[in-house]
Structure 1
Amino acid sequence: MPSASRTPREVWTSDEGTMARETALTRWPKIMQTMIDDVETTFSQSENAEHVEEGRRIQASLRIMKEEIMGDKPLHPLNSDGGADIEGYNAQLKGFGHITWHNCAWMFAECYLYRNVQTLFARSQFWRNYDIFARQKLSAFLASHAAVEELSERYMSLTEALTTNPDPKAAELAFAELTSIALWGNATDLSLHPDVHDQTKLQSLQNHHATPTSQSRIVSNDLPAVWAYLSRNRSQVQDRGEAQAQGQGPEQEGEQENRRIAIILDNAGFELFTDLLYTLLLLDLHLATTVTLHVKSIPWFVSDVLPHDIPVLLSALTNSTLFPTSMTTNPAVQAVAARLREGFDTGKVKVKEDGFWTTGYGFQEMEGRAPGLWGELRGSEVVVFKGDLNYRKLVGDRRSTFSVALVISFVSSVTQASGGNYTGMQET
Structure 2
Amino acid sequence: MPSATCPETLREVWTSERGSMAHETATTRWPKIVQNMVDDLEQSLGQLNSDKTEHIEEGRRIQASLRIINGEIMQDKQLHPLSSDGCPDIDSYNAQLESFGSMTWHNCPWLFSECYLYRCVQTLFARSQFWRDHDIFARQKLNAFVASHAAVQELCERYASLTEAGALTKAAAADDDDDDAARRLLFSEMTEMALWGNATDLSLLSTLGSSSSSSSSSSHNHNPDDMRALQGNAAICAGRARIVGNDARAAWAYLRSETHRGRRTERRVDVVLDNAGFELLTDLVYALYLLDCGLASAVRLHVKSMPWFVSDVTPRDIDVLLAALADPAVFPAAANPSVRALAGRLRGCYESGLVAVAEHPFWTTGFDFQALPAVAPELYRDLLDSALVVFKGDLNYRKLVRDANWPHTLPFKDAIGPLRGGMKILALRTNKADVCVGLSEETLERVENEAPGKAWVRNGRYAVISFSDGA
Summarize the alignment of residues 352-371 of structure 1 with structure 2, pairs less than 5 Å apart. 352-371=358-377
**406 and 288 in structure 1: CA distance in 2 versus 1, 3 angstrom threshold:** closer
Of stretches 310-319 and 395-404 in structure 1, the one that deviates more from structure 2 is 395-404
Distance across 2 between alignment mates of 1:163 and 1:404: 36
Of stretches 88-97 and 110-119 in structure 1, the one that deviates more from structure 2 is 88-97
Q: In structure 1, what is the equivalent of residue 455 of structure 2? A: none
CA contact (8 A) 1:181 1:210 kept: no
Q: In structure 2, what is the equivalent of residue 245 of structure 1? A: none
Which of 188, 199, 220 in structure 1 is aligned with 2:200? 188
Q: Deviations over 1:25-51 (max 9, x none)?
A: 111011001100111111111121111
Show structure 1 runs of 4+ deviating over 6 A: none
**406 and 234 in structure 1: CA distance in 2 versus 1, 3 angstrom threshold:** closer
1:277 pairs with 2:277: no
**263 and 71 in structure 1: CA distance in 2 versus 1, 3 angstrom threshold:** same
Question: Could you tell me how far 1:215 is from its partner in structure 2?
Answer: 1.7
Summarize the alignment of residues 207-356 of structure 1 with structure 2, pairs less than 5 Å apart. 210-232=235-257, 234=259, 255-324=263-332, 327-356=333-362
Question: Could you tell me how far 1:5 is from its partner in structure 2?
Answer: 4.4
Distance across 1 between alignment mates of 2:260 and 2:350: 23
Distance across 2 between alignment mates of 1:84 and 1:138: 31
- In structure 1, what residue type is equivalent to 2:426? T
Distance across 1 between alignment mates of 2:224 and 2:315: 25
Distance across 1 between alignment mates of 2:78 and 2:184: 52
Secondary structure class of the residue paired with 2:425: strand
Where do 5+ consecutive residues of structure 2 fail to align? 172-178, 210-222, 432-471
**345 and 81 in structure 1: CA distance in 2 versus 1, 3 angstrom threshold:** same
1:205 pairs with 2:207: no
**336 and 390 in structure 1: CA distance in 2 versus 1, 3 angstrom threshold:** same
Distance across 1 between alignment mates of 2:168 and 2:369: 39
1:90 pairs with 2:98: no
Q: Deviations over 1:332-371 (max 9, x none)?
A: 1111111111111221101001110000001111112112
Q: In structure 2, what is the equivalent of residue 32 of structure 1? A: 34
Question: Could you tell me how far 1:100 is from its partner in structure 2?
Answer: 0.6
Distance across 1 between alignment mates of 2:206 and 2:325: 24
1:77 pairs with 2:81: yes
The count of residues paired between Structure 1 and Structure 2 equals 404
1:123 pairs with 2:127: yes
Distance across 2 between alignment mates of 1:70 and 1:59: 17
Q: In structure 2, what is the equivalent of residue 427 of structure 1? A: 430
Distance across 2 between alignment mates of 1:64 and 1:208: 44
CA contact (8 A) 2:168 2:293 kept: no
**164 and 120 in structure 1: CA distance in 2 versus 1, 3 angstrom threshold:** closer
Q: Deviations over 1:127-166 (max 9, x none)?
A: 0011110000000000000000000000111122215755
Question: Could you tell me how far 1:403 is from its partner in structure 2?
Answer: 3.7
- In structure 2, what residue type is equivalent to 1:45? Q
CA contact (8 A) 2:135 2:307 kept: yes
Which of 191, 200, 218 in structure 2 is aligned with 1:179? 191
Of stretches 198-207 and 270-279 in structure 1, the one that deviates more from structure 2 is 198-207
Q: Percent identity?
A: 55
TM-score by length of 2: 0.82
**415 and 398 in structure 1: CA distance in 2 versus 1, 3 angstrom threshold:** closer
Please tell me the root mean square deviation across aligned C-alpha atoms, in Å. Answer: 1.9
Which of 47, 55, 64 in structure 1 is aligned with 2:59? 55
Distance across 2 between alignment mates of 1:311 and 1:109: 30
- In structure 2, what residue type is equivalent to 1:180? E
Where do 5+ consecutive residues of structure 1 fail to align? 238-254
CA contact (8 A) 1:29 1:70 kept: yes
Question: Could you tell me how far 1:207 is from its partner in structure 2?
Answer: 5.7
Secondary structure class of the residue paired with 2:245: coil
Of stretches 191-200 and 279-288 in structure 1, the one that deviates more from structure 2 is 191-200
Q: Deviations over 1:398-421 (max 9, x none)?
A: 1122243444465x64553x4x41
Question: Could you tell me how far 1:307 is from its partner in structure 2?
Answer: 0.5
Which of 393, 396, 399 in structure 1 is aligned with 2:402? 396
Of stretches 390-399 and 192-201 in structure 1, the one that deviates more from structure 2 is 192-201
- In structure 2, what residue type is equivalent to 1:152? C
Q: Deviations over 1:85-112 (max 9, x none)?
A: 0011001111111111111110000000
Distance across 2 between alignment mates of 1:207 and 1:14: 38
